[in-house]
Amino acid sequence: MNNKLPESLENYTGYLITDIGRLYRTEMDKRMARFELTRSQWWLISFLSHFEGATQQELADVMDVGRAGIAKLIDRLEKKGLVCRAADARDGRSKRVYLSERIKPLAIEVEKEIADTGQSSMRRLGKDDIATLNRLLNTIRATVLEDQQALDAADRPPPDG
């Protein structure tokens, strides 16, 4: 199959956003192979670089994976000494997740690879184009989040009363 999109999809924004995400993940998988990291592992390491000390539930939500899946992933990385868990000071039932000191240099490399992938993919765009693209994508993201919240609210049963 060639990589040329059918004309019917060239102007379908939702498809393009989804397909670009797929292409980015595939490129990152190739770049992360030298670090012997799976997609879920490098993805979690990247999130922890930005959300260090997040709870397992917060990580599951931001990564869009289930509780059991995030717990197993953290278990595997904890056994390798790459992350550690600590009880939440305010809620002993919650665990906060941190990068280990051992992995912090690798986390910097992971973030560098992500940045390099992004820069390479936008090398044909000017600074103003990139700023406009980011502004528009953030607007789309905010709208999708609002729509999700509205759907979630509609799915909840009405309060008793």
Q: Where are the domains of the chain?
A: 7-121, 125-161
The per-residue pLDDT for 130 is 95
Instruction: Determine the average pLDDT of the residues in 115-121.
Output: 94
Task: Name the architecture of domain 7-121.
Answer: Orthogonal Bundle (1.10)
Instruction: Determine the average pLDDT of the residues in 143-155.
Output: 89
| 135 CB-near residues (< 8 Å, 6+ apart) | none
Half-sphere exposure of 83 (CA within 13 A, CB side): 30
Is the pLDDT reported for residue 157 higher than 90?
no
Q: How far is CA 140 from the centre of its chain?
A: 17
The per-residue pLDDT for 161 is 52
pTM, rounded to two decimals? 0.78
Q: How far is CA 41 from CA 68, 90, 122, 130, in A?
A: 15, 28, 25, 29
pLDDT tens by residue, 6-32: 887 888 899 999 999 999 999 999 999
pLDDT tens by residue, 67-114: 899 999 999 999 999 999 998 888 878 889 999 999 999 999 999 999
Is the pLDDT reported for residue 4 higher than 90?
no
% of the chain beyond a pLDDT of 90 = 65
Would the CA dihedral through 63, 66, 70, 76 be positive or negative? negative
152 versus 41: the higher-pLDDT residue is: 41
Is the pLDDT reported for residue 64 higher than 90?
no
